[in-house]
A and B are shown apart, each in its own frame.
Chain A
Amino acid sequence: MHIPDGFLSAPAWGGLWAVSAPSVVAATRRAQRDLDESKVPMMGVLGAFVFAAQMVNFPLGAGTSGHLLGATLLAAALGPAPAIVVMTAILSLQALIFQDGGLLALGANLFNMAVAGTLAGYWPWRAFAGGRFARFGLFAGGFCSVAVCALLCLAELAISGVHFGPAAMSLALGVFLVNAVLEGLITVAVAASLEAIRPGWLKAPAGAGRPVLWLLLGLAAVLASAGFFVASTHPDGLEHLARVTGLASQERLFFKAPLADYEIALPVSVWIRKAVAGLSGLLLTAAACIALARWIGRWRSA
């Protein structure tokens, strides 16, 4: 999932640098504020551990093997902000030493894997930490972390004009799904072994235990990435949806009437349709999450 240089268009890599650089700086500030000095060697040495652990092959049978990515494990051990800093250091070193991902594309890779991937891995774990379902939280964390990275990576490639046919798309999504499940399984297995060595390595942070809220945040992250992705690959996603759901005949009533004047004055370009589809996808996701949260809240209080 490390994007090399030469794939992303200039607005894509420039824009993603503009997002990820301040995020990493903010994470650094936060990590510095929250941590005492002894944590600097801890962050560095655990970073070396994750780097090395990514090279351990996990046999899956039939001659194939997978490996850990480690963002969830790191976030569970150190907390989210230090984990973002450590993942940033690891990804930068990988780009320099192995050319795993380009230097210009590093902004995009940092956003996908260090920032979004780490947070998406942390929230589900935090939601269930310390409770009976802590292991499920770790699995969900590993899964969400890789799923969010992969969807963002695909979306960025699609925005930059790398086209996927339907067959290639389903293949890529299948591979990423398997990887996400695998990351969840490996994270749980490693955490179980750690508990056997010395309980209490992966401590629940104070104030943890509002599973619903954090789970919804994680879900929102996954759905938002998916929506972003769908919106960018199907520029006329809304029209497609309308056709599929049989709204096409009533389309004029719903979509065209309020915009009729504008349509004559201003031919809607592909870009605007993309933007509208993307934004409405995000809004729909947010609305669905809020509705779900309300419903769950009512259900719990009842």
Chain B
Amino acid sequence: MRDSRLSGYRSVEDWSRGCTWLHRRDPRIKLLSTLLLLAAIAVAPARGYTGLALISAVGLSILFLAAAAAGLPPLSILLRGWVVLPFTGVFALLAWLEGNPQRAATLLAKSWLSAAAVVLLMATTPLERLLAGMQALGIPPLLGAVAQFVWRYLHVALDQLHRMQVARLARGGERRFAFAAATVAVLFASSSARAERVHRALLARGGEARFLLLDPLRLKLADAWLLAASLASALVLAASGGWP
């Protein structure tokens, strides 16, 4: 019973290990560019269906071109944005049933575009570099260290969970509420013991947890070009909705 969502993320992680121009850009700049695009999508006023269609067309072409430039399959990136459908679909259906189909279309289009933009960020930036970038941007050091730990040990915890579930099935385990609670409790106990071992190992290496990158973050001139390009596309995107 492997979690399918995390294995779905594996392909995004594979993509993030590329080394095209976009992959080599500084994670801080890529994060800022994504936030610019997201803000543009959020504030773009959709005047009627034509405005909405324009926003979607401009947004999709920006993401499509960026994905193609990074040597990634653009359609897969865009389709991955549909993960928001369960949440968005319900509210879009509600708006549609209330007789506001345009509101429904706006919700669907904007949340899809936003999610696809984040997928593009993750497909061009390894997560540990992105976290290092966020730390360099000034999130509290403790929060950064905790996020790095969570990401590293998530796989360990998930592997253990998988082994426990297979073992239970092999013994003819039933699906019962109490068994699931016991699984979670055992996972908690062993995670806690693991944390103590990790701490002792850190002490043995003489100090606190530091998360180093093989290739340290450095801003280059090309990063300024990326920021300028994304600022321009964000402005075009924000203006496109009010065009007609």
Chain A 132-187 residues near chain B, CB threshold 8 A: 157, 162-165, 168, 186
Q: Is A52's CB within 8 Å of the partner chain B? A: yes
A10 touches B147 (CB 8 A): no
B143 touches A28 (CB 8 A): yes
B146 touches A86 (CB 8 A): yes
Q: Is B124's CB within 8 Å of the partner chain A? A: no
Task: Summarize B's interface: helix, strand, loop or mixed.
Answer: helix
1/0 per residue B83-107: CB within 8 Å of A?
1100110010011011010000011
Q: Is A293's CB within 8 Å of the partner chain B? A: no
Query: Which of B67-75, B191-199, B212-220 sits within the interface?
Result: B191-199
A93 touches B151 (CB 8 A): yes
Chain A 1-22 residues near chain B, CB threshold 8 A: 2-7, 10, 13
Could you say which of B100, B149, B161 contacts A44, with CB atoms under 8 Å apart? B149
Per the bound structure, the CA–CA distance linking A201 and B156 in Å amounts to: 22
Q: Is A48's CB within 8 Å of the partner chain B? A: yes
Residues of B within 8 A of A163 (CB): 94-95, 98, 100
Chain A 253-272 residues near chain B, CB threshold 8 A: none
Closest 10 CB pairs of A and B: A44-B149, A6-B110, A193-B185, A5-B114, A6-B111, A189-B181, A48-B153, A52-B157, A49-B191, A47-B150
Contact A55 to B146, CB < 8 A, known contacts A4-B111, A102-B38, A104-B114: no
Residues of A within 8 A of B158 (CB): 52, 55
Q: Is A302's CB within 8 Å of the partner chain B? A: no
Q: What is the CB-to-nearest-CB distance from B95 to chain A, in angstroms, rounded to a whole number? A: 7
Residues of B within 8 A of A32 (CB): 142
Residues of A within 8 A of B183 (CB): 56
Q: Is B187's CB within 8 Å of the partner chain A? A: yes
A-B contact pairs, 12 of them (CB 8 A): A3-B87, A5-B38, A25-B140, A32-B142, A47-B153, A56-B161, A86-B150, A98-B83, A165-B98, A190-B185, A193-B185, A193-B186
Q: What is the CB-to-nearest-CB distance from A189 to chain B, in angstroms, rounded to a whole number? A: 4
Q: What is the CB-to-nearest-CB distance from A88 to chain B, in angstroms, rounded to a whole number? A: 6
Chain A 26-67 residues near chain B, CB threshold 8 A: 28-29, 31-32, 37-38, 40-49, 51-53, 55-60
B94 touches A6 (CB 8 A): no
Chain B interface extent, by class: 35 or more
Per the bound structure, the CA–CA distance linking A40 and B110 in Å amounts to: 38
A37 touches B208 (CB 8 A): yes
Contact A96 to B195, CB < 8 A, known contacts A86-B150, A197-B185: no
Per the bound structure, the CA–CA distance linking A92 and B157 in Å amounts to: 18
Q: What is the CB-to-nearest-CB distance from A109 to chain B, in angstroms, rounded to a whole number? A: 12
Residues of A within 8 A of B202 (CB): 41
Q: Is B233's CB within 8 Å of the partner chain A? A: no
Contact A190 to B198, CB < 8 A, known contacts A5-B41, A7-B91: no
Residues of A within 8 A of B177 (CB): 58-60, 189
B195 touches A51 (CB 8 A): no
**Can you name the residue of chain B whose Cβ is closest to the Cβ of A97?**
B9
Could you say which of B6, B91, B160, B199 contacts A38, with CB atoms under 8 Å apart? B199
Residues of B within 8 A of A86 (CB): 146, 150
A102 touches B111 (CB 8 A): yes
Given A40-B146, A41-B149: 4 more A-B contacts, CB < 8 Å: A25-B140, A45-B153, A93-B150, A163-B98
**Which residue among A28, A86, A97 has the maximum number of chain B CB atoms within 10 Å of its CB?**
A97
Residues of A within 8 A of B205 (CB): none
Residues of A within 8 A of B98 (CB): 163, 165
Could you say which of B83, B157, B176 contacts A48, with CB atoms under 8 Å apart? B157
A104 touches B42 (CB 8 A): yes
Per the bound structure, the CA–CA distance linking A41 and B187 in Å amounts to: 16
1/0 per residue B174-186: CB within 8 Å of A?
0111101111111
B111 touches A7 (CB 8 A): yes
Q: Is A194's CB within 8 Å of the partner chain B? A: yes
Contact A13 to B149, CB < 8 A, known contacts A96-B122, A186-B181: no
Q: Is B154's CB within 8 Å of the partner chain A? A: yes
Per the bound structure, the CA–CA distance linking A58 and B176 in Å amounts to: 7
A189 touches B178 (CB 8 A): yes
Chain B 2-36 residues near chain A, CB threshold 8 A: 3, 5-6, 9, 12, 34-35
Contact A89 to B95, CB < 8 A, known contacts A48-B191, A197-B189: no
Q: Is B43's CB within 8 Å of the partner chain A? A: yes
Residues of B within 8 A of A25 (CB): 140
B192 touches A46 (CB 8 A): yes
Q: What is the CB-to-nearest-CB distance from B167 to chain A, in angstroms, rounded to a whole number? A: 14
